Amino acid sequence: MNEIQILIVDYGSQYTLVIGRTLRELGVRSAILPPEKAIYFLSQNTPKGVILSGSHHSVHDVNAPQLPENLDLSGVKYPVLGICYGMQLLSHTLGGVVDRPLLHREYGPAMVSLDVNHPLFLGVEQQTQVWASHGDTVKELPKGFHSIGTTKGYAAMTDAENRILGIQFHPEVVDTKEGKKILQNFLNICETKIDWNPTNIIKEIQKEVLDVVNTSLGKNVILGLSGGVDSTTLAALLAPVLGDKLVCVAIDTGGLREGELAELKINAKSAHVSNLVVISAEDEFIKNISTTTDAQEKRGKFREVYSKIFEEQILKHNAGFMIQGTLATDIIESGEAGKSALIKTHHNVGLLWSVDDLHPFRNLFKYEVREIARTLNLPKEVYERNPFPGPGLYLRVVGVPVSKDYISLVRMADNTVTEIVKKHNLEKEISQLVVCLIGIQSVGVKGDERVYGYSLLVRAVKTIDFMTAQGYYFPENVVNEITSALTQHKEIVRVLFDMTPKPPATTEFE
Ligand code: XMP
């Protein structure tokens, strides 16, 4: 395996893994490590470049994370690029001044003016839109540095040799229009080579899993199959190397959408899964989850039943390993990657199993898994499939305890909206559709009667990686059609549409 070319030091930004993904898109492998682990890495390796990520910290925090003590700042061994907190940390450490203005916080899109003669900004528009998300700013540059970009303050800096660089905005976020070009320029400065492709990743993952599985004598491997792109791709990738040792377990949680179980079975076939076990556990899930309306608690209750069922399967099938299609995004959002803050608990992250737990896709993003699925010749229905949360429709009944009736209602509603979206050929424009029951009663009128009923909420988002998302605006005729179809149900008096972007909202309500 090729050596890691770029070290990304993770200071806990929500976007750190997106930097790694963007570098892979540019064909370059990288390692993302927290500062403490980066020290060890740097003591053993000389990468071709180092990127310092953003952070929710301020350099003035008492416990502000620091630069790895053995990071070479002479520019001799490798170029260094500080992004946001990374730039502030470089400035602060090298004798510049980082200010903490009370009022001037930049958040969201901003225009910057760049020195396009600098190698970092070659080929970039002089005035370009970037994504900024910071409270602190660099007020004075360190000695020997000069500005190569401005907004209201310094947006970018360089040393005289163009080796130690800083940018205040986030090039890895898609809202930075020319961010990818800027990262490509940094790779050019680092003189990296192209070394990432899906075929290599498939081989690496097969080898990684086989090496681990071969250490146990005769133990089988359980894979939680949801029918979604991640677990199906993982099954297709492992089926040829694990053969009969691979036991795929699918649970009918009662929170599945219309026709989803049938689809799962078809997808398992196209992944050449030979051992598929389907467990029906609707009653058990409902009984447990209906005891709370709190979003985190509901997820907790879902996890309890989910892990209990898998533990039973582990015993039954003499398994030594649990393999899941957990992605980098799930790990970041659960606060497990580096130091990123907890947003919500994904159902399949951080569960403790009685056997070894493997997450071979832990460094990959959705679009990369889709690429792997395509490389494995899986059908379009698999690699183009929109994501759906593991706890399923249980997260789509908001504010009232879940019941079989409410789950059927959101299932029907989801199916109705999905069909309307298909009919109007809007599938390509939407990354995910969320239809939920909002458990607040309000007054309506049906026929001549006053009705006191619930609302359904429809939310569609457009996104590349679900780290950020834009709310989708349905055309007016489609809004009317959806509203009319959903209010046919006797208990539904209103249909709400939600276009809030992420952040500040998330895709799901819970
Ligand atoms: P949010 O709501 O955090 O969701 O913007 C991002 C993406 O993740 C999906 N999601 C989950 N997927 N298990 C999963 O496998 C979960 O517990 C879970 N929660 C959210 C969500 O539907 C969206 O695609």
Task: Indicate the SS3 state at residue 108.
Answer: strand
Shared-domain flag, residues 480 and 408: yes
> Measured in angstroms, how far is the CA atom of residue 150 from the centroid of ligand 1?
37
Which CATH number does the domain housing residue 349 bear?
3.40.50.620
Residue nearest to atom 19 of ligand 1 (CA): 389
**346 C-beta closer than 6 A to ligand 1:** yes
- Nearest ligand 1 atom to the CA of 344 is 3
Q: Is residue 448 part of a domain?
A: yes
Which CATH number does the domain housing residue 168 bear?
3.40.50.880
Residue nearest to atom 21 of ligand 1 (CA): 389
84 is catalytic: yes
Residue where a domain terminates, one of 190, 214, 247: 190
> Measured in angstroms, how far is the CA atom of residue 450 from the centroid of ligand 1?
37
pTM for the predicted model, two decimal places: 0.75
**298 C-beta closer than 6 A to ligand 1:** no
Handedness of CA 291, 297, 303, 304 (dihedral sign): negative
**389 C-beta closer than 6 A to ligand 1:** yes
- Nearest ligand 1 atom to the CA of 391 is 17
Q: Is residue 98 part of a domain?
A: yes
Residue where a domain terminates, one of 383, 416, 449: 383
CA distance 116 to 277: 58
Query: Into how many domains does the chain fold?
Result: 3
CB 433 within 8 A of CB 386: yes
Shared-domain flag, residues 104 and 152: yes
Residue 18's domain spans which residues? 6-190
Q: Is residue 181 part of a domain?
A: yes
**508 C-beta closer than 6 A to ligand 1:** yes
Q: Is residue 370 part of a domain?
A: yes
Residue where a domain terminates, one of 190, 214, 233: 190
Q: Is residue 26 part of a domain?
A: yes
> Measured in angstroms, how far is the CA atom of residue 493 from the centroid of ligand 1?
28
Shared-domain flag, residues 412 and 300: no
> Measured in angstroms, how far is the CA atom of residue 111 from the centroid of ligand 1?
32
Q: What is the DSSP string of 173-204?
A: STTSTTHHHHHHHHHHHHT------HHHHHHH
Q: Which of 57, 118, 170, 359 is catalytic?
A: 170
**453 C-beta closer than 6 A to ligand 1:** no
CA distance 231 to 208: 17
Average pLDDT of adjacent 10-residue blocks, the chain of 510 residues: 81 88 91 85 92 94 95 97 98 94 73 97 97 88 97 94 97 94 98 90 93 91 94 96 96 97 95 96 98 96 95 97 83 55 63 88 82 94 92 97 98 98 96 97 92 97 80 98 96 96 92
Q: Is residue 506 part of a domain?
A: no
Helix (H) or strand (E) holding 129: strand 127-134
170 is catalytic: yes
Residue nearest to atom 9 of ligand 1 (CA): 389
Q: Read off the amino acid at residue 449.
A: E
Residue nearest to atom 24 of ligand 1 (CA): 387
Q: Which of 57, 92, 106, 172 is catalytic?
A: 172
CA distance 121 to 181: 8
Q: Is residue 110 part of a domain?
A: yes
Beta bridge partners of 453: 442
**391 C-beta closer than 6 A to ligand 1:** yes
CA distance 424 to 442: 30
Shared-domain flag, residues 182 and 283: no
- Nearest ligand 1 atom to the CA of 346 is 17
Shared-domain flag, residues 157 and 11: yes
> Measured in angstroms, how far is the CA atom of residue 347 from the centroid of ligand 1?
9
Shared-domain flag, residues 230 and 185: no
> Measured in angstroms, how far is the CA atom of residue 81 from the centroid of ligand 1?
31
Q: Is residue 395 part of a domain?
A: no
CA distance 460 to 301: 27
Shared-domain flag, residues 213 and 353: yes
Shared-domain flag, residues 361 and 484: no
Query: For 309-373, what is the HEC assignment?
Result: HHHHHHHHCCEEEEECCCCHHHHHHCCCCCCCCCCCCCCCCCCCCCCEEECCCCCCCHHHHHHHH
Which CATH number does the domain housing residue 490 bear?
3.30.300.10
CA distance 367 to 486: 32
Shared-domain flag, residues 52 and 103: yes
Q: Report pLDDT for 100.
A: 80
CA distance 430 to 507: 12
Shared-domain flag, residues 183 and 262: no
172 is catalytic: yes
Shared-domain flag, residues 175 and 234: no
398-to-458, 501, 503 alpha-carbon distances in Å: 13, 19, 20
Terminal CA-to-CA distance of the chain, rounded, Å? 40
| Residue 92 neighbours by CB under 8 Å, 6+ apart | 59, 98
Shared-domain flag, residues 180 and 287: no
Write down the H helix ranges in 63-197: 85-93, 179-190
Q: How far is Cα of residue 427 from the mean position of the Cα atoms in its chain?
A: 21
